[in-house]
């Protein structure tokens, strides 16, 4: 009798709408998406928006826009702000079981306690003083206008699991402070709401950054306190990204937000192709999402931090653009730029925005430099310009005539023409650009460069 196939996975990407998505966030979203698609599962988008003080609607909108731009279509989505009743009910269960207890210390009092423990050579772990609070003391505190915040009473011992990326991981819970799950204003924190949502939405795998390892131990304890089996969930923690020098990759670095990369002309396919392989032994390839999903393997990630190199991303972006069909970029090219223009310039682009400069060369009013000592040659070139219409053979016919008339060849023949026609020493094949420039512009630019 064959064993039943494991159930299809359910994963989630859970950003907080307190800022724009960064490449580090995108990597986690992509890992969840590819894992779900590889195994025929579901990918959920959950906006963790219970922090009313920091969350903004424009960030939530930007997050969904960025994910759609990357092609990471979710199967379902919801906001935590719509589930406050579910968190309140779960919190009440923890209060009734004695696992959620009220606290009244101020930030200053807590800071003083931590500093004292450090001076005494002890770890700065919360001392659970509020567990000894009597009913009368609590009533007196509330009568004086204080409102409690609520901590979760961690169990003793060690919480361990076999991480799908990092291998065996263990956290000694007595070395961790009891986490605050409910603020004094009654709003729940991520550590708590995430567990409630993961239970109720049937999440089978939690894939996130290595900075959540201690948080995972805490949340596994909360899972158990709410009657769920944390062992039924697979946890995977991707090592964090560093910059090309191995330093911390700041998530505040705006140049690495998806909106900035998009504005710079970076292609979504280049970003997903790069991030999918970053931290593995596989070389990045300009593959589309289905091909990336077909080979995605959490076990292939290194335990070491992955270095994000903008130069490698740019090189991959170049490969994506060089192979991109006109239809993939048509709506992002300058008005009037057609398929012939795209095929002429795409091999010379690092970023799509650079196409605007070449459109100015092809159809605009580029003013070339005066090329000293080349006046006679350039005027001869002007006089030998063929009659229109022009096609892909025009460049060869024109330069053959010039060669015969002047005796020039190689660099001496071609470089002055390129400089005069484009204002640049390098660029797309003039065979392809010349018909786009047209006879009138070509003649005018040759005349200017010859002056």
pLDDT tens digits for 389-404?
A: 999 999 999 999 999 9
Q: Is residue 276 part of a domain?
A: yes
CA angle 302, 280, 23 (to 5 degrees): 95
DSSP label at 392?
Answer: T
Indicate if the alpha-carbon torsion angle 110, 111, 113, 118 is positive or negative: positive
Q: Is residue 248 part of a domain?
A: yes
What is the predicted pLDDT for the residue at 451?
Answer: 87
Q: Are 352 and 309 in contact (CB under 8 A)?
A: no
Q: Is residue 204 part of a domain?
A: no
Q: Are strands 306-307 and 241-242 parallel, antiparallel or unpaired?
A: parallel
Contact residues for 248 (Cβ-Cβ < 8 A; gap 6+)? 240, 242
Q: Is residue 205 part of a domain?
A: no
Same domain, 12 and 57: yes
Indicate if the alpha-carbon torsion angle 285, 286, 289, 291 is positive or negative: negative
What is the predicted pLDDT for the residue at 171?
Answer: 97
CA angle 392, 342, 400 (to 5 degrees): 20
Q: Is residue 131 part of a domain?
A: yes
Closest CA to 123 of 177, 70, 74, 166: 177
User: What is the reported pTM?
Assistant: 0.90
Distances (CA, A) of 217 to 128, 159, 442: 19, 6, 70
Instruction: Produce one character per residue of 251-287: b if its CB has 16 or more CB atoms within 10 Å, e if not.
Output: beeeebbbeebbeebbbbbbbbbbbbbbbbeeebebb
Q: Are 300 and 280 in contact (CB under 8 A)?
A: yes
Same domain, 68 and 89: no
Same domain, 348 and 439: yes
CATH number at residue 93: 3.90.800.10
Same domain, 96 and 140: yes
DSSP label at 227?
Answer: T
Residue 385 Cα to chain centre, angstroms:
50
CA-CA distance, 324 to 335, in Å (whole number)? 18
Q: Is residue 211 part of a domain?
A: no
Closest CA to 149 of 114, 189, 191: 189
Distances (CA, A) of 107 to 9, 111, 277, 282: 41, 6, 43, 47
Instruction: Produce one character per residue of 308-325: b if its CB has 16 or more CB atoms within 10 Å, e if not.
Output: beeebbeebbbbbbeebe
Domain end: 270, 298, 323, which one?
Answer: 323
Residue 245 sits in which domain range?
1-76+239-323
Indicate if the alpha-carbon torsion angle 202, 99, 208, 68 is positive or negative: positive
Same domain, 40 and 15: yes
Contact residues for 80 (Cβ-Cβ < 8 A; gap 6+)? 46, 47, 48, 49, 50, 87, 193, 197
Q: Residues in the chain with pLDDT < 70? A: 1-5, 250-255
CA angle 92, 93, 97 (to 5 degrees): 115
Closest CA to 44 of 2, 73, 23: 73
What is the predicted pLDDT for the residue at 156?
Answer: 87
Question: Burial of 242 by CB count in 10 Å (0-12 exposed, 13-18 middle, 19+ buried)?
Answer: middle
What is the predicted pLDDT for the residue at 52?
Answer: 82
CA-CA distance, 182 to 94, in Å (whole number)? 11
Q: Is residue 262 part of a domain?
A: yes
CA-CA distance, 396 to 225, in Å (whole number)? 79
CA-CA distance, 84 to 300, in Å (whole number)? 38
Q: Are 209 and 237 in contact (CB under 8 A)?
A: yes
Q: What are the pLDDT digits (tens) for 196-249? A: 999 999 999 999 999 999 999 999 999 999 999 999 999 999 999 998 777 777
CATH number at residue 422: 1.10.10.350
What is the predicted pLDDT for the residue at 7?
Answer: 83
E strands of 134-284, at which residues?
Answer: 149-152, 158-163, 167-172, 180-182, 205-209, 234-238, 241-242
Same domain, 299 and 362: no
What is the count of structural domains for the chain?
3
DSSP label at 246?
Answer: S
Closest CA to 237 of 27, 74, 384: 27
Domain end: 323, 355, 371, which one?
Answer: 323
What is the predicted pLDDT for the residue at 252?
Answer: 44
Q: Are 427 and 414 in contact (CB under 8 A)?
A: no
Q: How many residues does the chain have?
A: 451
Q: Is residue 353 part of a domain?
A: yes
Closest CA to 415 of 426, 401, 404: 426
Same domain, 354 and 427: yes
Domain end: 262, 294, 323, which one?
Answer: 323
CATH number at residue 292: 3.40.50.620
């Amino acid at each position: 009798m064959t064993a039943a196939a494991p159930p299809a996975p359910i994963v989630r990407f859970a950003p907080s709408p307190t800022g724009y998505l960064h490449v580090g966030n995108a990597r986690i979203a992509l890992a969840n998406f590819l894992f779900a698609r590889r195994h025929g599962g579901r990918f959920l988008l959950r906006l963790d928006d219970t922090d009313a003080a920091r969350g903004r609607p424009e960030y939530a909108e930007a997050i969904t826009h960025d994910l759609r731009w990357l092609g990471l279509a979710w199967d379902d989505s919801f906001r935590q702000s719509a589930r406050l009743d579910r968190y309140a009910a779960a919190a009440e269960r923890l209060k009734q079981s004695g696992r959620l207890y009220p606290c009244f210390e101020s930030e200053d009092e807590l800071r003083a306690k931590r500093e004292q423990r450090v001076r005494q050579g002890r770890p700065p772990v919360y001392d659970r003083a509020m567990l000894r609070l009597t009913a009368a003391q609590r009533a007196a505190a509330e009568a004086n206008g204080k409102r409690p915040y609520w901590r979760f009473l961690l169990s003793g011992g060690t919480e361990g699991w076999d991480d799908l990326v990092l291998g065996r991981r263990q956290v000694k819970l007595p070395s961790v402070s009891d986490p605050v799950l409910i603020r004094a204003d009654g709003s729940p924190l991520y550590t708590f709401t995430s567990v409630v949502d993961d239970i109720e939405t049937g999440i089978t795998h939690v894939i996130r950054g290595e900075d959540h390892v201690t948080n995972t131990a805490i949340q596994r304890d909360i899972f158990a306190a709410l009657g769920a089996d944390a062992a039924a969930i697979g946890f995977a923690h991707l090592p964090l990204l560093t910059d090309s020098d191995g330093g911390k990759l700041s998530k505040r670095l705006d140049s690495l937000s998806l909106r900035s990369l998009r504005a710079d002309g970076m292609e979504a396919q280049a970003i997903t192709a790069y991030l999918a392989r970053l931290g593995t032994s596989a070389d990045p390839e300009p593959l589309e999402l289905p091909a990336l999903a077909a080979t995605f393997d959490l076990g292939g990630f290194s335990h070491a931090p992955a270095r994000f190199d903008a130069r490698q991303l740019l090189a991959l972006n170049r490969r994506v653009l060089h192979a991109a069909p006109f239809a993939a970029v048509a709506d992002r090219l300058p008005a009037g730029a057609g398929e012939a223009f795209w095929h002429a310039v795409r091999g010379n682009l690092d970023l799509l925005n650079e196409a605007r400069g070449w459109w100015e060369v092809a159809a605009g009013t580029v003013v070339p430099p005066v090329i000293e000592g080349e006046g006679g040659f350039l005027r001869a070139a002007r006089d030998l310009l063929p009659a229109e219409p022009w096609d892909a053979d025009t460049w060869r016919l024109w330069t053959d005539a010039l060669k015969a008339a002047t005796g020039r060849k190689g660099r001496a023949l071609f470089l002055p023409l390129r400089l005069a026609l484009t204002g640049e020493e390098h660029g797309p094949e003039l065979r392809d650009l010349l018909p786009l420039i047209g006879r009138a512009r070509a003649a005018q630019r040759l005349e200017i460069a010859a002056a």
